[in-house]
């Protein structure tokens, strides 16, 4: 399938059915591994819910938590009729005020999911475009490297900074990607608010699901 065909297929797919399936606070609640899954990861307040809403063309299918670190579940969404892809909204990381027990539970849930989910095709690691890669992002990337899960780095909130500053963050993020065995060299630049890079990310999601 050519790139224009893939882009149009992705547009049509995401303009159709997108439904919330279930939340999984532990592995026993995971849905049966029947469809390819693409997981969204990112630290709290990175704009993960907003980007999922933008990709799916919905206003509030993914709800932002009022309190950072509150969501400690894997949330699954089905795309297509019949279902072609599942999107997985992973709990945000890097929450400073969370109790140690919560952080440990998060690590166990995420690590077990990443290492044992045969239908997981790709992860998207969202990086705040205003700040670039932080140590907590590197920890997530290391976890993905160790789990042998390929991932794409996605800069969010690209409309919130000057173009020159964004370019510097992009170059630094690309350099970081080259240090990690499971990271794609291409970094996506997005703005959920302005729609920047959303169509390209949809296309990448569909392409990854077909691998």
CATH code assigned at 30: 3.40.50.300
Look up the domain containing 100 and give its range: 3-209
Residues 158 and 191: beta-carbon distance below 8 Å: yes
Three-class DSSP category at 89: strand
Closest to 201 (Cα-Cα) out of 154, 166, 141: 154
Enumerate the β-bridge partners of residue 20. Answer: 77
For residue range 19-75, list pLDDT tens digits in order.
Answer: 999 999 999 999 999 999 999 999 988 999 999 999 999 987 876 544 445 567 899
- In the prediction, which pLDDT does 64 show? 56
Number of domains in the chain: 1
Integer Cα distance of 188 and 196 in angstroms: 10
Read off the DSSP letter of residue 159: G
Closest to 31 (Cα-Cα) out of 103, 118, 93: 118
Q: What is the pTM of this model?
A: 0.94
């Amino acid at each position: 399938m050519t790139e224009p065909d893939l882009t149009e297929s992705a547009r049509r797919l995401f303009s159709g059915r997108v439904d919330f399936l279930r939340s999984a606070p532990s592995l026993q609640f995971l849905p049966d591994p029947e469809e390819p899954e693409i997981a969204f990861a990112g630290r709290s307040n990175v704009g993960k819910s907003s980007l999922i809403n933008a990709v799916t063309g919905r206003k509030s299918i993914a709800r932002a938590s009022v309190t950072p670190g509150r969501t400690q579940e894997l949330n699954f969404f089905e795309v297509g009729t019949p279902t072609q892809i599942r999107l997985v909204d992973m709990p945000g990381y890097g929450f400073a005020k969370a109790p140690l027990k919560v952080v440990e539970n998060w690590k166990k849930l995420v690590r077990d999911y990443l290492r044992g989910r045969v239908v997981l095709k790709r992860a998207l690691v969202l990086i705040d475009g205003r700040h670039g890669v932080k140590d907590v992002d590197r920890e997530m990337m290391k976890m993905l490297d160790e789990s042998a899960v390929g991932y794409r780095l996605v800069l969010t909130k690209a409309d919130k900074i000057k173009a020159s500053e964004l370019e510097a963050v992009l170059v630094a993020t690309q350099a970081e990607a080259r240090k990690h065995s499971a990271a794609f060299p291409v970094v996506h630049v997005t703005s959920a608010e302005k729609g920047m890079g959303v169509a390209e990310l949809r296309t990448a999601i569909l392409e990854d699901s077909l691998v």
